[in-house]
């Protein structure tokens, strides 16, 4: 299964079912690509694995224990300082991005209630885990990135966090089939064409849609009004089973279709 925006909102749904309102009681960093959050919620303990390895990036609840270094790495210590005792207030993804944002209610050194965010970007070799303050300023990140490292964004302490730029269209902004048709009627193919046009929709997901709808893509003739309408209705049906909220600076989604 491709780790795309459709998969991400399904994972967000699972996390909301089990760890929303939970409190952070442990933080581990087993290796340079992984953070594990220990969470206590409604009498149960959960372990949330956040992995940014380029070959196996993911976020998931786990029951597998892993050995930890005797001395905790600096980012692990930072997360312990800022997040232990914090309550998970929101879990969401902006649009169909492969990004999970976990929002915490924490207390400052002056005992004031403040918000902090842990951003888990699941984008292959560009994956990262980033801690933000209440003003979306980066406190620190597991990986530091800047233009000198061929990064399109500065992911460094004291910098304002910005979502990745994309030239693709957010499917959630499409109002009706006619808009979708005008964007796709001149594509050379259905699976690659649609995945290259819309953010968060992978080629593998599109291939599964075509199989489900029994659409055979032999040549460009498959890109026709009837097929595009079927595809639009199918994707819309999937996404219409999600609940939309307004937060941060964009829509986030809690999926209900998994």
Rounded to 10 deg, the angle between the 225-239 and 203-212 helix axes is: 110
Contact 125, 55 (CB under 8 A): no
Enumerate the β-bridge partners of residue 41: 44
Whole-number Å distance between alpha carbons of 52 and 33: 5
Whole-number Å distance between alpha carbons of 254 and 256: 7
Q: Range with the lowest mean pLDDT among 15-29, 76-90, 144-158? A: 144-158
pLDDT of 139 > 50? The answer is: yes
The SS3 call for residue 18 is helix
For the chain, the maximum distance between any two Cα atoms, rounded to a whole number of angstroms, is: 66
Q: What percent of the chain has pLDDT over 70?
A: 91
**Confidence class of residue 179 from pLDDT cuts 50, 70 and 90?**
very high
The SS3 call for residue 105 is strand
CB burial class (10 A; 0-12, 13-18, 19+) of residue 230?
middle
Whole-number Å distance between alpha carbons of 71 and 75: 12
Compute CA distances 234 → 49, 86, 92, 142, 240, whole Å. Answer: 32, 39, 23, 38, 10
pTM over 0.75? The answer is: yes
Q: pLDDT: is 104 or 145 the higher one? A: 104
| Average pLDDT of the residues of the chain | 89
Nearest to 225 by CA among 186, 199, 173, 193: 186
pLDDT digits (tens, 9 = 90+) for 25-51: 999 999 999 999 999 999 999 999 999
**Confidence class of residue 242 from pLDDT cuts 50, 70 and 90?**
low
- Phi, psi angle pair for 63, to nearest 5°: -115, 5
Q: Between the CA atoms of 51, 59, 239 and 92, what dihedral angle is there, to the nearest 10 degrees?
A: -100
pLDDT digits (tens, 9 = 90+) for 96-112: 999 999 999 998 888 88
pLDDT of residue 127: 94
Helix, strand, coil tally for the chain in percent (to 5): 30, 30, 40
């Amino acid at each position: 299964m491709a780790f795309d925006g459709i998969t991400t909102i399904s994972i967000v749904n699972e996390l909301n079912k089990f760890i929303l309102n939970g409190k952070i009681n442990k933080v581990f960093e087993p290796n340079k690509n992984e953070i594990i959050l220990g969470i206590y919620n409604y009498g149960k303990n959960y372990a949330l694995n956040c992995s940014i390895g380029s070959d196996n990036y993911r976020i998931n609840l786990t029951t597998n224990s892993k050995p930890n270094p005797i001395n905790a790495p600096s980012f692990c210590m930072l997360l312990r300082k800022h997040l232990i005792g914090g309550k998970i207030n929101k879990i969401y993804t902006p649009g169909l991005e492969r990004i999970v944002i976990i929002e915490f209610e924490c207390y400052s050194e002056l005992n004031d209630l403040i918000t902090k965010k842990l951003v888990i970007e699941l984008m292959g070799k560009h994956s990262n885990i980033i801690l933000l303050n209440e003003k979306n300023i980066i406190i620190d990140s597991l990986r530091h990135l800047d233009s000198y490292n061929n990064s399109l964004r500065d992911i460094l302490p004291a910098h304002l966090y910005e979502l990745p730029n994309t030239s693709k269209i957010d499917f959630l902004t499409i109002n009706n089939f006619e808009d979708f048709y005008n964007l796709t009627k001149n594509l050379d193919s259905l699976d690659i064409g649609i995945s290259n046009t819309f953010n968060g929709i992978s080629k593998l997901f599109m291939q599964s849609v075509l199989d489900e709808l029994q659409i055979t893509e032999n040549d460009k003739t498959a890109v026709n009004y009837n097929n595009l309408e079927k595809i639009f209705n199918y994707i819309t049906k999937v996404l219409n089973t999600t609940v939309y909220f307004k937060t941060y600076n964009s829509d986030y989604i809690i999926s209900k279709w998994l």
